[in-house]
Amino acid sequence: MPAIITENDVSQWDDETGVVYHFPKRYRALLQPDTEVIYYKGRIKDKAFASARLSPEPHYFGMARIAEVCIDKKSDKGDLYALIEGFISFEKAVLAKVEGAYLETIPSNRTSNYWRDGVRGISRSDYYAIIRLADLSATKLTAGEPAFAFDPLAFESANEGDKTNYFGTRYERNKILRLKAIAIHGLSCKACGFNFEKVYGEYAKGFIHVHHLIPISAYGEETAVNPQTDLVTLCANCHAVVHKNRDVTLSMEQLKEMLKR
């Protein structure tokens, strides 16, 4: 069953449109790997966000697919997050209400509280009705635009892999992998526990290096990187030590062993 996922203009989560979506565990059954989703925004609350939205009215603005669902280890309520793939942003808003009728079929027993749910299962016919109105013929495929500036050096040192290629075609892909790695592994160093925000405060919030456990040069041209198993978050010091010798990349075990002394 396809699902609607609501994105709020202001959120407590580090969600990135088309990349990562956090949700409470009560929606677990609705958001499974391979679920097709449509992104929704409710009516605008703060006019400051007007330019970041396709419409101030409740509307749909993109479609995607759930790749993977993970447990958010930072949540004590058992919250989850979904890794999103294949995000396509609509060229223009598809309004939730067309000629006085909602595109989503509201069950008769839910009329009073239907819109309270941020995640809503919908029928395949409702799903296609929304997509048809999105007029995707005019839409180009995008991978989602993360909100913060991306520093390729913070993702992986350039001596791994081909430099010219690295800063060109891999840029967009790495930006998304970086966000997924942080969503999975968190913002503290996996070797020593260092956290940039804790030590340096607000200014360093969100900063961390993302390290490839397998050097990029060992990959073929378009090998899929699994952010869960192939990437790890490291502080700048630990990352520098891992790559101290250009020809040898230390394993996490070797690094942790050194830290024990």
> Binding residues for Zn ion, per CB under 5 A?
189, 191-192, 194, 211, 235, 238
Q: Which residue's CB is nearer to Zn ion, number 66 or number 234?
A: 234
Q: Which residue's CB is nearer to Zn ion, number 120 or number 180?
A: 180
* CB 212, min distance to Zn ion, A: 6
* CB 149, min distance to Zn ion, A: 20
Distance, in Å, from the CA atom of 98 to the CA atom of 80, rounded to the nearest integer, reads 33
Q: Which residue's CB is nearer to Zn ion, number 32 or number 159?
A: 159
How far, rounded to the nearest angstrom, does the alpha carbon of residue 63 sit from its chain's CA centroid? Answer: 14
Q: Which residue's CB is nearer to Zn ion, number 41 or number 211?
A: 211
Q: Is residue 207 within 8 Å of residue 235, measured between CB atoms?
A: no
Distance, in Å, from the CA atom of 171 to the CA atom of 20, rounded to the nearest integer, reads 18
Q: Assign 3-class secondary structure to the chain.
A: CCEEEECCCCCCCCCECCCEEEECHHHCCCCCCCCEEEEEECCCCCHHHHHHCCCCCCEEEEEEEEEEEEECCCCCCCCEEEEEEEEEEEEEEEECEECCEECCCCCHHHCCCHHHCCEEECCHHHHHHHHHHHCHHHCCCCCCCCCCCCCHHHHCCCCCCCHHHHHCCHHHHHHHHHHHHHHHHCCECCCCCCEHHHHHCHHHCCCCEEEECCCHHHCCCCCCCCCCCCEEEECHHHHHHHCCCCCCCCCHHHHHHHHCC
Q: Which residue's CB is nearer to Zn ion, number 136 or number 192?
A: 192
Q: Which residue's CB is nearer to Zn ion, number 95 or number 192?
A: 192
Q: Which residue's CB is nearer to Zn ion, number 65 or number 256?
A: 256
* CB 251, min distance to Zn ion, A: 12
Tell me how far CA of residue 72 lies from CA of 5, 28, 151, 185, in angstroms: 18, 12, 25, 10
